[in-house]
Amino acid sequence: MTTHHPLGRIVRDEDGVALLFERRLGHPPERVWRALTESDQLRHWLPADIVGAREEGAPVLVTFWDDVAQRYAIDEPVMTGRILTWDPPRRFVWLWDDELLTFDLTPVDGGTDLALTVRVGTKAPAADKVAAGYHVCLDQLAALVDTDDPPPFLDQDPRPYEALYAPVAAAAG
C-alpha cells in the first residue's frame, strides 16, 4: 500500500468526532462535482448510491452497491439520508444514517481544493476504521477524476490505512 494523499485529521470535541480531509485535484470544480453527486460516478469511489432528488432538503435512500453489501455482509443495505445543502459546484452537505458529510469545493489555479468533513455518529465503529475507509474513498475519487478509469472499488483495502490512522485517533483522545 502506498499513501497517495496525506492522512486526514481526527478531531474530538463536545459534539463527538469529526474527520477532516483535504485533497487538491487537478480538475475544475464542475468535474469534481459530477464525481461527488452522479450515480454513475459514485459507483467508482463510494460504497453506496444516493437515490433520490438532487436538491436541498430532499430525502434520499443510501443504497449499498450489491457487490459491496455482499462482500462486507451488510445487514441493512439501504439507509435513509437527506441532502441538507445543494450548492453546485461549491458545497454538498448530506446526512447518511448518522454521519454528516460536508464537501466544500474551492477553485484554484489548475484545479480544485476539496475539503471533506465527516461528523461521525454514535453508531460508527472506531475513528481509525472510519477514517481509513474515507481515505480509500477519496483516493478512488481522485483516481476517477484523473483517469475516468480507477481501479475497481472492491480491490481497495482500507485495513492498511487503519494502522496509519490508529495513532492519529489516539492523539485525538
**Residue ranges in the chain modelled with pLDDT below 70:** 1-4, 122-125
Q: What is the CATH number of domain 9-171?
A: 3.30.530.20
So where are the chain's domains?
9-171
State the pTM of this model. 0.93
What is residue 3's predicted lDDT score, i.e. its pLDDT? 47
What is residue 16's predicted lDDT score, i.e. its pLDDT? 85
CB contact at 8 A, 8 and 135: yes
Spatial strand order in the sheet of 99-108: 9-13, 16-25, 111-120, 99-108, 91-96, 78-87, 59-64, 48-51
Joined grid coordinates for residue 19: 474527520
Q: In a 3-state reduction of DSSP, which class is residue 144?
A: helix
